Structure 1
């Protein structure tokens, strides 16, 4: 693969598909070869915008193409596991948008599929690539930042079924398996350990969408007692996104997107963009024939935590 341009298919013409197209189209040695869309007109417009020569409504048709070497799975969340497995079985490398699956069983199935096929299979757990989180993790590993409590606030307004661009969705987002997944995985990655005592509570389901709109999660590391507290809402009017407060022995830090500030509001100098670093890692791992950071096996422990949290919520509702 080192001497060949990598042909990539973007599966999904929504907001995340566009984010991947923007990054991947700028990388050397990469060619956007195809897009799989859920609607013909949207697929045509997406292909025109990103100068992609082929668009289709058929995922199977796209992954059968010889000019497609890898697939970015940015289809609706409930399709991620089946699409990623099909692409891998077709011999294509796979980058899977978060969540890789909506169950632990499907996550473990993907890990087994990777073992069986040997393709590169990477998850878009983009917090791992965020400069603020990498900076503090490096400090934790060096022994000059002791984390006591990670406090996470995740806020969106999803009372109507729209995506991040304000466009109608054909599927319903998931507060636990998608949005909490970012932070559950981040906590395990920061500590290098997924052994947490955990507990979750969910608010009432939305009468039309059928999902809980608010959630609280508490986790405690069984190894060193580090606490992780999460508040998540699809009822919040803004600002939107994930906000992280790192409370430690050597200070308190606030992370948002690619920015990090100390308790006095002073910016910590950082470089890089999480999404670009993530997609570049996928391309580089393929070119170099190595296992990428955030490969499918590394995220399965986080999916086990999510499964435990789901069971905690289900037990309260019975």
Structure 2
């Protein structure tokens, strides 16, 4: 790592921005120089909590600063594509929160722009960096674990537009392009196979939020490995992504950075997925290399989501 700190612009003052700050505090040679917020009071409270020296509500002006090296986008999903493109055009490295966009066309345009640039462009496909999923992939690649069926359960807010801390959101989340993106990408990445058979359906739109609150998705590889995804915004109980890996040798359960075997015994693993992800972004900048989860690496997942969206629309879901 260089002794000259990478100076970051953090865009967004919501729950996911706080998770990034927790990770960045453990990474050397990084300084969050400025926060760009959406709501002035909320942004100033967030900046005070995390000791960020400057606050702005002007993203474009902040990008124009010569002393900013890179941007982390922790903004509402509908802003990711345009803000990432602005960052690249301003000569900044960029880590965009998942999803990179809410449609395939924007994802393709953004990826093309990123590939023409010499800047590091990366998407926060965090499941690729969580220790349990990396361990599963290692076992699959070494022939130690033969996956038969991945069962994924994703639960988030309970019929109200709240973030992970239970605070009101100013924007509406997307069950397919955001939450399903995590698990669709994970399955394809695990198998190194993005040419999957896909099917799925969505429940009726919520009367006020205008989005489906429940969804089921099926995936199948050419080798016959299955994935079943269940997603709900109607769920009572804990939220998050829960993964059950049913394999020939064992059944393993993953939640965040913890992995258990079929007896419930914890498999010893180390590391935080968010920290590993953000470290990868900073390391790629310092080393002048392509990061894991570059825009082009994640584009095939967006194509799968586009196919799913079309299938759901055609089925009336």
> TM-score of the superposition, structure 1-length normalised?
0.97
Contact 1:37/1:57 (<8 A) preserved: yes
Q: Secondary structure at the match of 2:315?
A: helix
Name the residue aligned to 2:299.
Answer: 300
Moved more, 191-200 or 108-117: 108-117
Q: Is 2:200 the counterpart of 1:236? A: no
- 1:101-127, Cα deviation, whole Å (9 max, x unpaired): 101111111111112222101110000
Q: Residue 158 of structure 1: CA displacement?
A: 3.5
1:144-166 CA-partner distances (Å, limit 9, x unpaired): 11111101011123411111111
Does the CA-based 8 Å contact 1:120-1:292 persist in structure 2?
Answer: yes
User: How far apart, CA to CA, are the structure 2 residues paired with 1:25 and 1:93?
Assistant: 19
Q: Who is 1:37 aligned against? A: 37
**1:3 to partner: Cα distance:** 4.6
Aligned partner of residue 312 in structure 1, secondary structure = helix
**Corresponding position: 1:108 with 2:108:** yes
- SS of 1:317's equivalent in the other structure is coil
- Structure-2 residue corresponding to 1:225: 224
Paired position in structure 1 for 2:96: 96
For 1:21, the equivalent position in structure 2 comes to 21
CA displacement 1:129-174 (0-9 Å, x = unmatched): 1111000100000011111110101112341111111111111000
Structure 2, unpaired ranges of 5+:
none
Separation of aligned partners in 2, 1:263 and 1:23: 30
Structure 1: which 5+ runs fail to align?
none
Q: SS in structure 2 opposite 1:149?
A: strand
Shift of 1:2: 3.3
- 1:65 corresponds to 2:65: yes
Report whether the alignment pairs 1:85 with 2:58. no
Name the structure 2 match of 1:214: 214
Q: Does 1:155 align with 2:152?
A: no
Rounded to whole Å, the distance in 2 between the matches of 1:146 and 1:70 is 40
The aligned residue for residue 190 of structure 1 is 190
Inter-partner Cα distance in structure 2 for 1:42 and 1:312: 40
- The answer as to whether partners of 1:157 and 1:238 remain within 8 angstroms in 2 is no
2:122–2:281 contact (8 Å) kept in structure 1: yes
Structure 2 SS opposite 1:94: strand
Does structure 2 retain, via aligned residues, the 8 Å contact 1:25–1:50? no
- CA deviation map 1:200-230 (0-9, x unaligned): 10001100000000000001112x0110100
TM-score by length of 2: 0.98
Give the corresponding residue for 2:265: 266
Inter-partner Cα distance in structure 2 for 1:136 and 1:161:
33
Deviations 1:232-268 (A, max 9, x none): 0000011211110101111111111111111111111
1:50 aligns with 50
CA offset at residue 27 of structure 1? 1.5
Is 1:251 aligned to residue 250 of structure 2? yes
Distance 2:209 2:289 in 1: 41
Indicate the residue corresponding to 1:313 in structure 2: 312
Deviations 1:263-291 (A, max 9, x none): 11111111111111100110011101111
- CA–CA separation in structure 1 for the residues paired with 2:128 and 2:191: 12
Aligned to 2:117: 117
* 1:107–1:300 CA contact under 8 A, matched in 2: yes
Question: In the alignment, is the contact (CA less than 8 A) between 1:25 and 1:32 conserved in 2?
Answer: no
- What SS is found at the alignment partner of 2:266? coil
Superposition RMSD on alpha carbons, in Å?
Answer: 1.1
Q: Does structure 2 retain, via aligned residues, the 8 Å contact 1:7–1:31?
A: yes
Distance 1:258 1:301 in 2: 25
